[in-house]
Amino acid sequence: MIELRTPSEIAELQLAGAFVGRVLEATRDAATVGMNILELDALAHDMIRAEGAESCYIDYHPSFGASPFGKVICISVNDAVLHGLPHDYVLRDGDLVSLDFAASVGGWVSDSALSLVVGTPRDEDLRLIQLTEVALAAGIEAATVGNKIGDISAAIGDIAHAAKIKVNTDFGGHGVGRVMHGDPHIPNDGRAHRGLPLRAGLVFAIEPWFMLGTDKIYTDDDGWTLRSRDGSRGAHSEHTIAVTDDGPLVLSARAS
C-alpha cells in the first residue's frame, strides 16, 4: 500500500534520516585499510543502541535472503555489489566499499547508502562512484509533483546509458515509512511519463547501483551478498526523499 505522509510525519522521517546519515558518516570515516568490516558493523550497532533506535536489518528475512540478516549494516566490497553481509574481512588498499544502512527512529524509517575507496583509489572506481552519485541527483531532481515514477527511473537510466553502463533492474528504489521496503518499486531504468503519478507526501528511497562490466548478479554462498557475475566492481548511492509541493526534499542528507 502506498501512503501519503503529512508535513509533521515528514519532519519525523527527517529525524530518522539525520541519524542514518550520522551512522554512514561514522562508518565511512572509520573504513580504512586494516579495519575489519565486522568492526564497522559493531560501530553502527553501538550508535543504534545509543540513539535508542531499532535496526531494520538484524531480523530482516525477505524471500531473497537465506536467513535473517543478523547484522545491522550492509557492507559490500569490490565485486559484492548489494546486500553485503558483514563477515571476518580486513579491508585492503584499494578496496571499493559500499555502505547501506537503514534504521527506525521513533517508528519512522530512513534508508541511505554511499560508496568509497579505502587507501589508494583506481580512477575507474572513482568514476563509477561519481556516476552513481550523479544518477542519484538526477533521480532526485525528477521526483517532483506532476512527474511519474518512470521519470525517476528514466533519469537514472539515462546517466548510466550515456556512460555505457548496463543497468540491473531487479533491485532499486522503494517506498519507505513505517517499514524499510514498501511500494512503489523504482527501477534504475525505465520509460519516462509512465507509472505512478508523483504526489506531495510520497516518501521513498532512490538508489542507483551500477557495475562496471555487467548487469548480471548471483548470490554468494552466505545467502545474502549479491556479486557481479563477471567479477567487476560495483558502487551504490542512495537517499530517502519526500515529494513536496516545493520540490524533492532529501530526508537522509549528510553533513559531509
Domain locations along the chain:
7-250
User: 7-40 pLDDT, tens per residue?
Assistant: 999 999 999 999 999 999 999 999 999 999 999 9
User: 54-90 pLDDT, tens per residue?
Assistant: 999 999 999 989 999 999 999 999 999 999 999 999 9
User: 238-250 pLDDT, tens per residue?
Assistant: 999 999 999 999 9
* CA proximity to 153, closest of 199, 124, 186: 186
Evaluate the omega torsion of the peptide bond into residue 184 and state whether it is cis, within 30 degrees of 0: yes
* pTM > 0.95: yes or no: yes
* CA proximity to 239, closest of 167, 141, 145, 159: 141
Q: What percent of the chain has pLDDT over 90?
A: 98
Residue located via cell numbers 556479486: 227
For residue 256, is pLDDT > 90? no
pLDDT value for 1:
83
Q: What is the mean pLDDT of the chain?
A: 97
pLDDT band at residue 45 using 50, 70 and 90 as cut-offs: very high
User: 162-185 pLDDT, tens per residue?
Assistant: 999 999 999 999 999 999 999 999
pLDDT value for 224:
97
Distance, in Å, from the CA atom of 223 to the CA atom of 108, rounded to the nearest integer, reads 28
- CATH class entry, domain 7-250: alpha beta
